[in-house]
């Protein structure tokens, strides 16, 4: 099974997650873009929860016209 994100991306996502805990005004740009070309779903991830490395935060667009900011399970994305 292939990895969704590189080690370097994981380090940056975790650093962003720690900085978000310390600074409510921190608004990092996306680090990772994941997508499903067949279903039109896209995830732009900006950070990983430093307390739960399975939960990433970012813009989630499932291709239904209602993109939203929120958390997503990396394990669930891996299974898509």
User: How does DSSP assign 7-38, residue by residue?
Assistant: HHHHHHHHHHHHHHHH-TT--PPPSEEEEETT
Q: How confident is the model at residue 79 (pLDDT cuts 50, 70, 90)?
A: confident
Mean of pLDDT over the chain:
93
pLDDT for res 1: 47
Question: Residue holding tokens 């805990």?
Answer: 21
Q: Over the stretch 11-53, which tens digit does the pLDDT of each residue have? A: 999 999 999 999 999 999 999 999 988 888 999 999 999 999 9
Q: Over the stretch 54-74, which tens digit does the pLDDT of each residue have? A: 999 999 999 899 999 999 999
Global confidence as pTM? 0.90
């Amino acid at each position: 099974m292939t990895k969704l994100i590189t080690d370097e991306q994981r380090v940056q996502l975790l650093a962003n997650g720690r900085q978000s805990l310390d600074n409510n005004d921190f608004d990092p740009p996306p680090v990772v873009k994941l997508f499903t070309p067949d279903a039109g779903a896209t995830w732009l991830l900006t950070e990983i929860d430093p307390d739960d490395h399975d939960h990433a935060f970012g813009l989630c667009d499932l291709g239904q016209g209602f993109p939203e900011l929120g958390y997503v399970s990396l394990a669930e994305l891996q299974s898509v």
